[in-house]
């Protein structure tokens, strides 16, 4: 399989063609060094050939974008980063650091009260200051000094973050670079930056770039190709991604196509002779093989959050826990560490599972019951899983949104295969009543604290949905077939920007009207929640139940 053949970035051999994408996690300390949790999170994923760290700020003045982001702004951090690179190397993988200056894409509060800087005074969040030539020299020096520290800390390479509308992209993108001096041509800045970094380190240096910024004014594949042809001689690899600051960013939800940016990458990589990497909804072996027809290595982001052992499981033909592209728990990074709705272990890799022994009966084969059964079986218990219906999935079986359904059901397939592999005995059409009159020992009832509302059928009605519950977002797909359906803006409350934007598009296609104010209707649904039952909640509760379960309970 080509996926498991080594490839080279300059003279650096990388054991396979699977790369872990840079992802901010907030697992670093507030000072910007990797914690034990952070290191273990990477170690668990070291069956990839190459790990690229999350974006890592290069100065403690104006470069940071997230509260607990890695930072390489001072020599005192070198030993702390060496703990990370040593651990990854000891687990036989390579590790690059992704260096960033966020430019205008930050808030004053994240950059120690300073004013965000940018090539031009085009504000995004807070007010911004246009960079002087001194600022430009300072920032280039910050990148180069951080690169020197990275080399001393044992990193195998440097990735300059030139994608997603951060500072380098702000120079390159005609949408936001409005300068009148020589830096009007953003490649001048990029060129100076790469030259300075390369003059100060001997490890490979590559760059991430967005193949499209999803608007008329911004970067597009043709423009990106022109930029790359001007700088590729100085770079050791090129990493394709997408997005700037609009809703169609680089992490596309289940409403967007897979692979997300393959066509754009084909254009952007024309006549590029350096190794190329591509990210964007690569979830399966088939996705990876398709991407390898265009680029040299595949980059996994959310899928490697969902399934840390993706390469090993692919190699051994084992079931893979799929990322369902819900963009829920992994997108709450302004106030949370990274978490994943389908992988409750994410961020807790530091704790293993304690061995157990004996027989346990789990009642209910929704995701909660299946996850409890999985964890108990992993611990060594013999597990019986009872379900009153004749199929797995519980509330999943009520999903009406076709896009969601096709992606979410892969999770049920995974559980079915994994539970079989782990020897869990599944009993369908089996009631075990909550009063335990059937007298089973060691019973766990896998009943979520709260459930989503059940589907009701309507025909020929005028329906108003004023609710952010996932279930109602779904049911609109079915109701729109036979009714006149209106939804308020509240419907999209709490959804990440990509999912919200694309759901609006889907509703428009179905003729569902999105309204600001409430109207009279035959059926009115008013139910707005701050917290609502979710897959992530059920699976996380299940994980902790299974992990801490003792037979004497
Ligand atoms: C939790 C999270 C954090 C991210 N942080 C970064 C980052 O620090 N640097 C970066 O270049 N991209 C970042 N991204 C974008 C991903 O690296 C990747 O390009 C994108 O999610 C598409 O890949 P996927 O479809 O496999 O998730 C992040 C994505 C996620 C989900
Ligand atoms: S939270 Fe959802 S989108 Fe994010 S990694 Fe997990 S399954 Fe994928």
Contact indicator for 254, 404 with CB cutoff of 8 Å:
yes
Do 301 and 367 sit in the same domain of this protein?
no
Ligand 1 pocket mutation pick from 212, 250, 265 by most atoms within 8 angstroms of CB: 250
Which ligand is in closest contact with the Cα of 251? 1
**Mean pLDDT score of the chain:** 96
Q: Is pLDDT of 437 > 80? A: no
Relative to the CA of 536, which ligand 2 atom is closest? 1
Do 152 and 191 sit in the same domain of this protein?
yes
Distance 329 CA to ligand 2 centre (A): 7
Number of separate domains in the chain = 3
* 145-178: burial string, b at 16+ Cβ within 10 Å, e else: bbbbbbbebbbbbbbbbbbbbbbbbbbbbebbbe
Lowest-pLDDT choice from 10-19, 249-258, 369-378: 249-258
Relative to the CA of 333, which ligand 1 atom is closest? 1
pLDDT in tens, 21-48: 999 999 999 999 999 999 999 999 999 9
CA distance 472 to 527: 9
Do 131 and 173 sit in the same domain of this protein?
yes
At residue 282, the pLDDT reads: 98
pLDDT in tens, 523-547: 999 999 998 889 999 999 999 999 9
At residue 542, the pLDDT reads: 97
Domain assignment of residue 342, yes or no: no
Do 23 and 88 sit in the same domain of this protein?
yes
At residue 518, the pLDDT reads: 83
Domain assignment of residue 64, yes or no: yes
Do 410 and 517 sit in the same domain of this protein?
no
At residue 531, the pLDDT reads: 87
Q: Is pLDDT of 552 > 80? A: no
Do 60 and 105 sit in the same domain of this protein?
yes
CA distance 249 to 263: 16
* Number of residues that this document lists for the chain: 553
Do 539 and 518 sit in the same domain of this protein?
no
Do 396 and 512 sit in the same domain of this protein?
no
pLDDT in tens, 56-101: 999 999 999 999 999 999 999 999 999 999 999 999 999 999 999 9
Which ligand is in closest contact with the Cα of 277? 1
Q: Which residues line ligand 2 (CB under 6 A)?
A: 302, 305-306, 323-330, 340-342
Do 203 and 322 sit in the same domain of this protein?
yes
pLDDT mean over 116-126: 97
What percentage of the chain carries pLDDT values higher than 90? Answer: 93
Q: Considering only CA atoms, which of 239, 265, 59, 242 is closest in space to residue 160? A: 239
Do 482 and 418 sit in the same domain of this protein?
no
Alpha carbon of residue 529 to chain centroid? 25
Distance of CA 61 to CAs 116, 309, 480, Å? 9, 37, 52
Give the residue with greater pLDDT, 25 vs 433: 25
Do 406 and 270 sit in the same domain of this protein?
no
CATH number (domain holding residue 194): 3.20.20.70
CATH number (domain holding residue 484): 3.50.50.60
CA distance 199 to 473: 54
At residue 75, the pLDDT reads: 98
**Which domain does 181 fall in, by range?**
2-331
pLDDT mean over 428-437: 80
Domain assignment of residue 211, yes or no: yes
The question of whether 166 is a catalytic residue gets the answer yes
Give the count of alpha carbons within 13 A of 306, CB side only. 26
CA distance 377 to 312: 20
At residue 442, the pLDDT reads: 92
Lowest-pLDDT choice from 138-152, 220-234, 355-369, 437-451: 437-451
Do 279 and 395 sit in the same domain of this protein?
no
pTM, two decimal places: 0.97
Domain assignment of residue 354, yes or no: no
pLDDT mean over 250-266: 95
The catalytically annotated residue of 41, 55, 73, 166 is 166
Domain assignment of residue 33, yes or no: yes
Q: Contacts by 187-190 with C-beta closer than 8 Å and gap 24+? A: 187/227, 187/230, 187/231, 189/119, 189/136, 190/162, 190/227, 190/231
Domain assignment of residue 128, yes or no: yes
């Amino acid at each position: 399989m080509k996926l498991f053949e080594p490839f080279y970035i300059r003279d650096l051999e990388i054991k396979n063609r699977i790369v872990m994408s840079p992802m901010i996690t907030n697992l670093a300390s507030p000072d910007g060094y990797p914690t034990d949790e952070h290191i273990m999170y990477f170690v668990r994923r070291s069956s990839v050939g190459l790990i690229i760290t999350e974006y890592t700020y290069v100065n403690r003045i104006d470069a940071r974008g997230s509260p607990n982001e890695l930072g390489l702004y001072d020599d005192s951090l070198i030993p702390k980063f060496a703990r990370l690179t040593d651990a990854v190397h000891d687990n036989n993988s390579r590790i690059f650091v992704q260096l960033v200056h966020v430019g205008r894409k930050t808030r004053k509060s994240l950059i120690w009260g300073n004013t965000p800087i940018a090539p031009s005074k085009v504000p995004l969040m807070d007010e911004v200051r246009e960079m002087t030539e001194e600022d430009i020299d300072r920032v280039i020096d910050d990148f180069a000094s951080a690169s020197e520290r990275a080399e001393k800390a044992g990193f195998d390479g440097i990735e300059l973050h030139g994608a997603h509308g951060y500072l380098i992209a702000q120079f390159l993108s005609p949408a936001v670079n409005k300068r009148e001096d020589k830096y009007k041509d953003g490649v001048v800045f990029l060129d100076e930056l790469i030259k300075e970094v390369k003059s100060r380190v001997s490890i490979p240096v590559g760059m991430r770039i967005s193949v499209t910024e999803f608007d008329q004014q911004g970067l597009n594949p043709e423009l990106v190709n022109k930029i790359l042809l001007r700088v590729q001689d100085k770079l050791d690899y090129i990493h394709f991604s997408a997005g700037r600051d609009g809703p169609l960013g680089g992490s596309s939800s289940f409403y967007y196509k897979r692979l997300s940016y393959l066509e754009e990458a084909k254009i952007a990589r024309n006549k590029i002779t350096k190794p190329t990497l591509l990210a964007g909804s690569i979830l399966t072996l088939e996705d990876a093989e398709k991407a390898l027809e265009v680029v040299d290595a595949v980059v996994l982001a959310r899928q490697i959050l969902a399934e840390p052992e993706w390469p090993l499981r692919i190699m051994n033909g084992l079931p893979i826990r799929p990322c369902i592209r819900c963009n829920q728990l992994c997108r709450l990074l302004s106030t949370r560490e990274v978490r994943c709705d389908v992988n409750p272990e994410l961020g807790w890799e530091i704790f293993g599972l304690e061995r157990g022994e004996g027989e346990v009966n789990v009642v209910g084969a929704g995701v909660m019951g299946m996850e409890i059964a999985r964890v108990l079986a992993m611990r060594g218990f013999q597990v019986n899983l009872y379900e009153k219906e004749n199929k797995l999935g519980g509330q999943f079986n009520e999903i009406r949104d076709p896009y969601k359904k096709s992606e979410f059901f892969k999770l049920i397939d995974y559980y079915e295969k994994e539970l079989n592999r782990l020897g869990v005995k599944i009993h369908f059409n089996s009631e075990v009543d909550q009063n335990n009159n059937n007298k089973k020992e060691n019973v766990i009832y896998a009943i979520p604290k709260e459930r989503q509302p059940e589907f009701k059928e309507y025909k020929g009605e005028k329906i108003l949905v004023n609710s952010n519950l996932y279930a109602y977002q779904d049911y609109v797909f079915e109701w729109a077939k036979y009714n006149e359906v209106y939804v308020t803006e509240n419907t999209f409350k709490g959804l990440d920007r990509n999912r919200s934007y694309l759901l609006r598009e889907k509703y428009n296609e179905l003729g569902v009207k999105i309204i600001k104010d409430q109207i009279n209707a035959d059926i009115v649904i008013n139910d707005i929640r701050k917290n609502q039952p979710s897959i992530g909640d059920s699976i996380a509760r299940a994980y902790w139940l299974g992990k801490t379960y003792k037979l004497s309970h």
